[in-house]
Amino acid sequence: MKFLTWMTVPALLLALAGCGGDTPAAGSMGGRGGDGPKEGGPAGPPREVRLATAEEGRLARTIDVSGTLAADEEAQLGFKIAGRIQEMAVDIGSPVRRGQVLARLIPTDYELRITQAQTALQQARARLGISPQGPDAIVPPEETAVVRQAAATLKSAQLTRDRMAKLFQEQLIPQADFDAAEASYGVADGRYQEAVEEARTRQAVLSQRRSELEIAKQQLADTFLKAPFDGAISERLSSAGDYAAAGAPVAVLVRRHPLRLRLAVPEREAAGIQTGMTVQLNAEGDPATYTGRVARISPAITQDNRTLMVEAEVPNQDGRLRPGAFVQAHIVVQAADPAVLVPASSIVTFAGIEKVITVEEGKALEKRIRTGRRSGDQVEIVDGVKAGEPVVLQPGNIVTGQPLKVVP
């Protein structure tokens, strides 16, 4: 009896709990799902959506690839000669024109070298008998003083030898006197040849001194560092007062128009690339779209990453694009052909499945699609939607059967 009573008490408690809970449970079910919509079901207040229409348009086939802009030309500029910098006329970002002076050296040393070269040139002219201040001229050796003097000596020795030869034939003088006259003539002839060589040497020295003067003038001109092409200064490496060694860079100049766009095209896409193709690009932080053309194509595939290096020329007259900028490029490899296009914001992707939401009889209807090419905000629909069908913009988590209200 004690065992039966202990087992019966829980059974009675459960029976009483069941009898007391029937009515609230029924009321709860009726309140949640009897006449009202189930949570997550299609019933409920319509959701407001905006629609776009799938349109038939034309879309080019493109290769999408990222790349980097580079200056068409970049030069590290330095002086041809050594010296101390007197002035730096440019700084980072300074636009320059071809021939513009960018920096200059203190010219004192080179001005003194010009004076020295001018003095040496005057000495060389004087040794040739040319006026120090007159125009430069090539003087024939026969017209120089040293040659004329040697020629006169030679002529005198020749006349003396001829007379001695005649007297010797008449046996009026001994053999020794004739031999002495013959020897004097030989010495005079040798001195004449030496004088001609000396005159030619002096003429060569004159040319050397003239060249030295021109070099000194060129070195003075080289104290000015000038821009070799139009562009802008990307780096300033020296300041006034610095000592610049010959050839040491003091500034870096880049050409900003046109720019080079360097693209690494995957090997599987490389076969269709040709020079002259249009390239559309967008730079980071710049909403504008720029257009260039393929200018150069590498003859070989890079083995490390299996890509083909392609360079495009991009006009940049206004200088909005900057060398070194990262861009997204689209190489147009095929002209535009007909396609069904929808806005990219109307496409939903989940687990690799692409779909759009259309509206039929005021309710949502999911349609699986297959996309193709893209151009800006437009996406090609290869299969699943026809031209003229409405699609919901920014559908979010809309499901099939959900009531929708179309708003403008």
Same domain, 124 and 189: yes
Q: What does the pLDDT average to over 82-107?
A: 96
Is the pLDDT at 225 greater than 90? The verdict is yes
Number of structural domains found in the chain? 4
Per the domain annotation, does 18 fall within a domain? Answer: no
Same domain, 54 and 192: no
Is the pLDDT at 61 greater than 90? The verdict is no
What is the model's pLDDT at position 20? 42
What is the model's pLDDT at position 9? 39
- CA-to-CA dists, residue 119 to 114, 123, 128, 179, 273, angstroms: 9, 6, 15, 48, 65
Per the domain annotation, does 41 fall within a domain? Answer: no
Q: What does the pLDDT average to over 231-256?
A: 95
Same domain, 115 and 144: yes
Same domain, 383 and 401: yes
How would you classify the pairing of strands 95-96 and 404-406?
Answer: unpaired
Report the residue count for the chain.
408
Domain boundary among 254, 270, 303: 254
Q: Which of 200-204, 250-254, 374-378, 380-384 has the lowest mean pLDDT?
A: 374-378
Same domain, 375 and 324: no
Same domain, 315 and 213: no
Same domain, 280 and 376: no
Domain range for 119: 108-220
CB neighbour list of residue 85: distance below 8 Å, 6 or more residues apart: 103, 104, 105, 106, 238, 239, 240, 241, 242, 243, 244, 250
Dihedral, CA atoms, 344, 348, 352, 354, nearest 10 degrees? -70
Per the domain annotation, does 390 fall within a domain? Answer: yes
Same domain, 203 and 265: no
Same domain, 292 and 194: no
CATH number of the domain encompassing residue 309: 2.40.30.170
- CA-to-CA dists, residue 290 to 216, 279, 295, 312, 378, angstroms: 49, 8, 16, 12, 18
Per the domain annotation, does 29 fall within a domain? Answer: no
Mean pLDDT of the chain: 85
Same domain, 241 and 303: no
Question: pLDDT band at residue 58, thresholds of 50, 70 and 90?
Answer: confident
- CA-to-CA dists, residue 70 to 4, 256, 294, 335, 402, angstroms: 95, 9, 14, 28, 52
Is the pLDDT at 21 greater than 60? The verdict is no
Question: pLDDT band at residue 131, thresholds of 50, 70 and 90?
Answer: confident
SS3 320: coil
Same domain, 89 and 238: yes
- Report pLDDT digits (tens) over 278-313: 999 999 888 899 999 999 999 999 999 999 999 999
What is the model's pLDDT at position 4? 38
Domain boundary among 289, 308, 336: 336
Cα 114 from Cα 127, distance rounded (Å): 20
Tokens (6 digits) for 271: 């076969």
Is the pLDDT at 220 greater than 70? The verdict is yes
What is the model's pLDDT at position 80? 96
How would you classify the pairing of strands 307-314 and 326-343?
Answer: unpaired
CATH number of the domain encompassing residue 365: 2.40.420.20
Q: What does the pLDDT average to over 49-62?
A: 84
- CA-to-CA dists, residue 150 to 160, 191, 200, angstroms: 15, 6, 14
Per the domain annotation, does 400 fall within a domain? Answer: yes
Q: What does the pLDDT average to over 10-16?
A: 40
Question: pLDDT band at residue 336, thresholds of 50, 70 and 90?
Answer: low
Single-letter amino acid, residue 306: R
Q: What is the pTM of this model?
A: 0.60
